[in-house]
Amino acid sequence: MVIIKVFNNNSVAALSDDRQDVIVTGSGIGFRKKAGDRVDESKIERQYVFQDEHKKRLEQSLTSIPNVCFEITEWIVKKATQLLEKDFSSEIFIAISDHISFVIKRKNEGIYLPNIILNETKILYKEEYEVGLLALDHIKKKAGVQLDEDEAGYIALHLANFSLNNHDSNAVKIVTFTKEVIDVIQNTMKMKLGQDTLAYARISIHLKYLSERIFRNEVVQLEDTTHDIREMLKSNPRLSLCINRIVKLIRQEYAYELSPDEQTYLCIHIRKNIV
C-alpha cells in the first residue's frame, strides 16, 4: 500500500496493491511519511475503500480540497465513531471535507446561508448534532475560523446519512418532511410551537417515524380507524382542515397516500400536543 497524500500523523490517502483508493487511519501512520512511501500496515486501525464514482471523486478532492479539511474530517469521523458507536461509509470523508472547505471559503467572504432545518435536526438527530458542536470547536482550533451553529446541523446530517447503521440515507428528506408538516400544522391551527417544548419534540419524533415509512414505501395497517378519524374531524373543523392539508401535501410532494389509521394517529398527536 503506497501513500498518495499525508493528511496528518494519524491519517493518509493511499493506493492499495490491488489499485484501490483508500483512506487509512491509525496512531502515527502518517508520522514522518510522504507521498510514495509504503504504509506501515501494522499501524492501520481503520480503512475506508473508495470504488467506482467515489474513487473519481476522491481523486478530484485530493487536488482541490485543503489538507486541513481532510484532517478535520478524520477527527470528526473518529469522534463520531467513538461517541455514537457507529461506523461510517467511505463517502463521508469526501462529503464533510468538501462541505467544510466550501463553508470556510464562504465564511471568509462574509456570506451567510441559514440552515432552515436546524431546529428539526437538533431534535431528530440530537446525538449527531452534539458531535457537530464539538466539530465547530475543532474547526476553530485547526482552521482558525468560527463557524455558525448552522454548520453543526449540516455535519449532523452527514453523520446520519453516511452511517452504516442507516441504510436509507434519507436524513435530509426526513428533516425537510418534518419541517413542512409542522409548518402546515402551525399555519392551519393558528399557533406557534416553541421549538424547545416537549410538544414540538413529540410531534417531530412522530413525523420522523412516519416519514421513514413513507420513504421506504412501507404501508402499515394497524387497524381500521376510518370511523374514529371521521368522528374526530367532525368535532373540530380546523383540525379537519389541517389533516386534509397534510394529506394533500404528502400526496403531491411524496406520492404517498396516508391511510385512515395514519391520519388517526396524526390527529391524536396534534390534539394531545397542540389543540
Short-list 228, 150, 135, 245, CA closest to 189: 245
- In a structure prediction context, what are the per-residue pLDDT tens digits for the chain, which is 275 residues long? 999 999 989 999 999 888 889 999 999 999 999 999 999 999 999 889 888 778 888 888 888 899 999 999 999 999 999 999 999 999 899 999 999 999 999 999 888 888 989 999 999 999 999 999 999 999 999 999 999 999 999 999 999 999 987 655 689 999 999 999 999 999 999 888 877 787 888 889 889 988 988 888 766 555 555 566 667 677 788 888 999 999 999 999 999 988 887 888 888 888 776 65
Q: How many Å is the maximal CA-CA distance in the chain?
A: 75
Question: What is the spatial distance between Cα 197 and Cα 226, in angstroms, rounded to a whole number?
Answer: 31
Q: pTM for the full model?
A: 0.79
Answer yes or no: is 60 within a domain.
Answer: no
Answer yes or no: is 148 within a domain.
Answer: yes
Domain that holds residue 22: 1-50
Answer yes or no: is 55 within a domain.
Answer: no
CATH code for the domain in which residue 117 is found? 1.10.1790.10
- Number of structural domains in the chain: 3
Which of 150, 167, 184 marks a domain boundary? 167
